[in-house]
Chain A
Amino acid sequence: MIVNVLFFAQAAEFTGCQWHEIELSTPATVADCRRALAGTFPQLAGELPSYLIAVNCDYAGDDADLRHGDEVAVIPPVGGG
């Protein structure tokens, strides 16, 4: 399956891009996607464990299942308000 990963704030600075398509073997969870991201973007790997993940605009834990076409967002600590 392919998921589209969005990067924001510091995460986008680490990766040098705002989005990237990642191929995962089916079935896959958020944890699998985190591992793939750390492998593809070594600059992101150090901070990634402290970042949240959202799938299709909802926060998702590491055991959440992913589906082909999902939008996965890498969310560094937020600063709004």
Chain B
Amino acid sequence: MAGLRHSELDEQRCFAAVRSPECGAMVVFAGTARRHTGGREAVRLRFFAYEPMALREMEAIEREAIERFRLAACAIEHRLGDVLVGETAIVVAVSSPHRAAALEGAAWIMNELKRRVPIWKQEIAPDGAAIWVPNQLQTQGAAPSC
């Protein structure tokens, strides 16, 4: 289950989507909007997406994670538009029979998502100034899936 939402995310919905009687472990990761990054202060973040491709990449990451870590289920939701400091911008939920796969799988999904899903972030400062903030994981010029 992959989704892009313009309203507040619901961690419980993602948890419910992956819960299974065959699983002994569920992990939910919530990425939240942070006030300070380096020396900069933000009042909110603003996310933009190439929506059809972002959804395709998120669904591909889910399939790959399920196969690679033998997860039972996986759910990713990313918020778009304005996200106030403290609010949730992304939720990743996974379930597996044992905890190691769930913990490792959730971390791997976040790394892949930050590397290749076409979503962009602006930090909005208290004075209203907006700057684009790319993820640090992406090396310039590297083509993730070709």
Interface residues of B in 77-111 (CB under 8 A from A): 78, 89-90, 110
Closest 4 CB pairs of A and B: A80-B119, A79-B121, A77-B134, A9-B120
Return chain A residues, CB-CB under 8 Å to B2.
Answer: none
B114 CB–A CB distance under 8 Å: yes
Interface residues of B (CB under 8 A from A): 31, 47-50, 52-54, 56, 78, 89-90, 110, 113-121, 132-135, 138, 140-146
Contacts A59-B146, A61-B143 given; indicate if A81 touches B53 (C-beta within 8 A).
Answer: no
Are A78 and B143 in touch, CB under 8 angstroms? no
Are B113 and A80 in touch, CB under 8 angstroms? yes
Interface size class, chain A: 20 to 34
A60 CB–B CB distance under 8 Å: yes
> Taking CB as reference atom, which chain A residue is nearest B145?
A59
Alpha-carbon distance A73/B118, docked complex (angstroms) = 10
Among A8, A9, A58, A64, max chain B CB count under 10 A is at: A9
Residues 41-81 of A, flagged 1 when their CB comes within 8 A of B and 0 if not, give 00000000110101001111100100000000101111111
Are A80 and B144 in touch, CB under 8 angstroms? no
Alpha-carbon distance A59/B116, docked complex (angstroms) = 9
Contacts A57-B52, A57-B53 given; indicate if A79 touches B135 (C-beta within 8 A).
Answer: yes
Return chain A residues, CB-CB under 8 Å to B133.
Answer: 79
Interface residues of A (CB under 8 A from B): 6, 8-10, 49-50, 52, 54, 57-61, 64, 73, 75-81
Are A81 and B110 in touch, CB under 8 angstroms? yes
10 further A-B pairs in the complex, CB-CB below 8 A; given A9-B120, A76-B120: A54-B53, A58-B146, A76-B132, A76-B134, A77-B140, A78-B119, A78-B134, A80-B54, A81-B78, A81-B119
Return chain A residues, CB-CB under 8 Å to B90.
Answer: 80-81
Are B50 and A54 in touch, CB under 8 angstroms? yes
12 contacts between A and B (CB under 8 A): A8-B120, A57-B53, A58-B56, A60-B143, A61-B146, A76-B120, A78-B120, A79-B135, A80-B90, A80-B114, A81-B31, A81-B110
Return chain A residues, CB-CB under 8 Å to B49.
Answer: 80
